[in-house]
Structure 1
Amino acid sequence: MSSQKLKLNETQRALIGTVRDLARDKHWRTNSINYMDGTFPHENLRELAKLGVMGMSVPEEYGGLALPVFDTALVLEEIAKYCYATAMGVMSSVGVQTRVISKYAPESLKQKILPGVCTGEVNMAVGMTEPHAGTDVPNYKTNTVIKNDCAVVNGIKTLISKVDEAEWFVVFTRINGTPGRDGIGCVLVNRNTPGFEVTARYHTMGGEFLGEIQFNDVQVPLENVILREGAFKKLLTAFNTQRCLNPSVSLGLAEAAFEEAINYVRDRTIRGQRVADFQGIQWKLAEMYRDIEAGRALLYQAALSADPFPNPHQAAVAKMYNNEMAIRVSSEALQVHGGYGFTDDYPISRIYRAVRYGTLGGGTVETLKDLVGKKLVSDFEPVDGFLSMGNF
């Protein structure tokens, strides 16, 4: 990203504008209350599929738009401004699971799955977290044994998004019991396969459900073993994309919170004076705006580094900043609403709950701070007193 002002091209502006018009016409922000009980926004995703949004990560030969990570993040940011549940539904179709298949799966699987992702007819999810290990991927216990004519999966995955909607699951798994990170690969599992069982569902403060899955001698074709032993680095490289898409949702939610705060203080009066005219409120707004723009710069820089996947450390910095920034901004936006912000009648209460997802999913901020801190200690070299564009 150069020092010159970043300018979106006409294609980028047109897609973002079309998504914005759809969200406003359908009153997504107001209607987001309908998804707080765990109802999935199927209709919203069908409308987005018509615009090509569900195929943003899919190569053109399979019907997708083949958009760069930057463009995908822009669109996801815009969706999150209007509906968290819809943004999460889209991220599950443009995130790591689709990119792993697009990049590493055999041609037969690409043809079988990717066209349906574009139309919204095929839903996908990723199974990473285990009850005893979240970001500690090298210690996953789920194991896949490769036999002559099939592969057999056993284990448990938990806190999985779209557990009831997804047809296909990209599962991070140990291969043939190989220990440590060298043993990690991934397999593709269809939910209708014998031995696949959803054993728990957890309703979140953001509204959606997360689920737990058990794999009991689940047999899959050998072609469904997308990556075998020794693929840990490839998987994490693909997962770095998630560390740009996750903060794009945080950024969009922060923008939504800011918009709600601005609109409220402009309309609300106290003792005959607009709340917006009080200096204390204006300072709050100025700080919120500052934080949002700083987060935007970090995120866009990280997303623009993708070729085809983002720089891991820039993505980590962008994620941990935007995740925490969105919590601060939404908290302040709720505060300026006063008691009304605590009620479900105002969108800010839903935004405030939704932003808590960011620091937990896609690698906790603590894990990312550890990653960046270690890199700084080992490799930091000042360039004229500054880091050179975040490239440690």
Structure 2
Amino acid sequence: MKPTFTDEQRAMVGTVRELTQGKFIDRGLKWMDGTFPWDNMKELAEIGVLGMSVPEEYGGLGLPVMDTALVLEEIAKGCYVTAMAVLGEVGVQCRVISTYAPDSIKEAILPGVVTGENILAVCMTEPHAGTDVANYKTNTRVKGDRVVVNGVKTLISRAPEAAMFVVFTRVNDVPGHEGIGCVLIPGGTEGLSVTGNYHTMGGEYLHEVRFENVELPRENLVIDDNGMKKLLNAFNTQRCLNPSISLGLAEGAFDAALAFAQERTAFGRAIGDFQGMRWKLADMYKDIEAGRGLLYRACASANPFPDPFLAATAKIFNNEMALRVTSEAVQIHGGYGFTDEYLVSRHYRGVRYGTLGGGTSETLRDLIGKRLMRDGDMGDGILSRVLDEA
């Protein structure tokens, strides 16, 4: 099935491509020491990218998941660190705020997201629990018209820059999935501290965030009733946006490898003229196109959140495909591919994040397998399911 894109989608992607190819690739090495890419974020804010997930009434574009994925894919072709920074503004944390927060909080935070002034951080992983949400220990206790938060989150992106933390939390010590909710904590709130710093192989820093008797208005607890289901619905968006970055990294690495294979010579011939290299490039292209089809189908299912089955499938495939493609791109570059100065080296390291964040491949395989076993009969087969969705 060939996707159909609007003139507006083509225009936005074209504008982002100009920035990525003209500026972001050249700046890519600059951010590998953990420096936050403020320069790139400012330029993306100016063309509306940071407001893609913000409703129009708060100054954003209110675009669907497909548009957001296309733009992240394009940014990732040139710079993993910038793509991850943008994910923080258009991903699950922004959609939780825009979907579930009261108007007062939306008015206070979302216009600044559009301009790039307000950076968002989502806090899920804890020192003892990542995917195992039911065992989170961070707790928010309701006390009349106030709430008090205590706990620790770790491996958190953008914590030092964050104006708002979107925190997955237990509510009133209720155990298991039933007790999970979400609280919004403004940066600088008394009792909130950013402690541990972990520099990643992708370039950016991750952090530990502590909450010690953080007191907030009751309205900041934006999800408590049926919280787990609401949060997982919102998180299915992340399972489309994460693989869009993987897809973009694979494409960027492929483009660089193809150009290198055409220009680099060995034994009097372009290395791309050797069968072994041609087959590598063919497999890389094949895998990228297969991943694109799965991802775009998952994005198109969003109403307003993507189908969890399709999103999980697209995420697993694109995350793992990108590992293969970027590894082959490094191989095609030979020794040059092992150096920081070459884009394929940076993409190879950045793409390793994909299978770890937003639900591990192991967890998502189990989710898909459980659904297949639960639903049992696929009707008249998988093709009939695809035709019914179209």
Query: Shared fold (TM-score greater than 0.5)?
Result: yes
Moved more, 245-254 or 191-200: 191-200
Aligned to 2:32: 36
Shift of residue 378, structure 1, vs aligned partner: 1.6
The reply to whether residue 13 of structure 1 matches residue 10 of structure 2 is yes
Instruction: Give runs of aligned pairs for residues 286-305 of structure 1, distance below 5 A.
Output: 286-305=282-301
Amino acid at match of 1:294: A
Check the 8 A contact 1:344/1:350 in 2, yes or no: yes
Aligned to 1:349: 345
The 3-state SS of whatever aligns with 2:386 is: coil
Structure-1 separation of matches of 2:131 and 2:63: 27
The reply to whether residue 89 of structure 1 matches residue 85 of structure 2 is yes
Amino acid at match of 1:71: D
The match for 1:374 among 365, 370, 373 is 370
The 3-state SS of whatever aligns with 1:40 is: coil
The 3-state SS of whatever aligns with 2:289 is: helix
The 3-state SS of whatever aligns with 1:131 is: coil
The match for 2:98 among 84, 88, 102 is 102
Check the 8 A contact 1:30/1:347 in 2, yes or no: no
Structure-1 separation of matches of 2:120 and 2:178: 26
Check the 8 A contact 1:117/1:123 in 2, yes or no: yes
Shift of residue 229, structure 1, vs aligned partner: 4.0
Aligned to 1:136: 132
Show CA shifts across 1:174-223 (max 9, x none): 01111111111100011211111112010000000000011110111111
Check the 8 A contact 1:188/1:224 in 2, yes or no: yes
The 3-state SS of whatever aligns with 1:78 is: helix
Percent identity (aligned): 62
Aligned to 2:19: 22
Amino acid at match of 1:11: E
The reply to whether residue 310 of structure 1 matches residue 301 of structure 2 is no
Structure-1 separation of matches of 2:228 and 2:243: 23
Structure 1: 5+ residue stretches without partners: none
Instruction: Give runs of aligned pairs for residues 155-194 of structure 1, distance below 5 A.
Output: 155-194=151-190
Structure-2 separation of matches of 1:352 and 1:13: 28
Structure-1 separation of matches of 2:116 and 2:56: 16
The 3-state SS of whatever aligns with 2:196 is: strand
Q: Kindly report the root-mean-square deviation, in angstroms, between the aligned alpha carbons of the 2 structures.
A: 1.3
TM-score by length of 1: 0.97
Shift of residue 383, structure 1, vs aligned partner: 4.6
Amino acid at match of 1:93: E
Structure 2: 5+ residue stretches without partners: none
Structure-2 separation of matches of 1:136 and 1:391: 34
Amino acid at match of 1:133: A
Show CA shifts across 1:335-390 (max 9, x none): 11111111122111111000000000001111000100111112143454435229
Structure-2 separation of matches of 1:58 and 1:199: 30
Instruction: Give runs of aligned pairs for residues 1-392 of structure 1, distance below 5 A.
Output: 3=1, 5-26=2-23, 28-387=24-383, 388-389=385-386
Structure-1 separation of matches of 2:387 and 2:206: 34
Show CA shifts across 1:220-261 (max 9, x none): 111111111431100110010000000000000000110110
Shift of residue 271, structure 1, vs aligned partner: 1.2
Check the 8 A contact 1:185/1:228 in 2, yes or no: yes
Show CA shifts across 1:42-75 (max 9, x none): 0100100011000000110111100000111001
TM-score by length of 2: 0.97
Structure-1 separation of matches of 2:354 and 2:363: 13
Structure-2 separation of matches of 1:186 and 1:111: 18
Structure-2 separation of matches of 1:230 and 1:369: 25
The 3-state SS of whatever aligns with 2:382 is: coil
Amino acid at match of 2:373: V
Amino acid at match of 1:340: Y
Structure-2 separation of matches of 1:143 and 1:35: 35
Amino acid at match of 1:290: K
The 3-state SS of whatever aligns with 1:306 is: coil
Amino acid at match of 1:60: E
Shift of residue 30, structure 1, vs aligned partner: 2.8
Check the 8 A contact 1:314/1:391 in 2, yes or no: no
Runs of 4+ in 1 over 6 A off after TM superposition: none
Equivalent pairs, count: 388
Amino acid at match of 1:90: V
Structure-2 separation of matches of 1:381 and 1:257: 40
Amino acid at match of 1:9: T
Amino acid at match of 1:190: P
Structure-1 separation of matches of 2:315 and 2:196: 29
Check the 8 A contact 1:174/1:229 in 2, yes or no: no
Shift of residue 391, structure 1, vs aligned partner: 8.5
Check the 8 A contact 1:264/1:337 in 2, yes or no: yes
Shift of residue 168, structure 1, vs aligned partner: 0.7
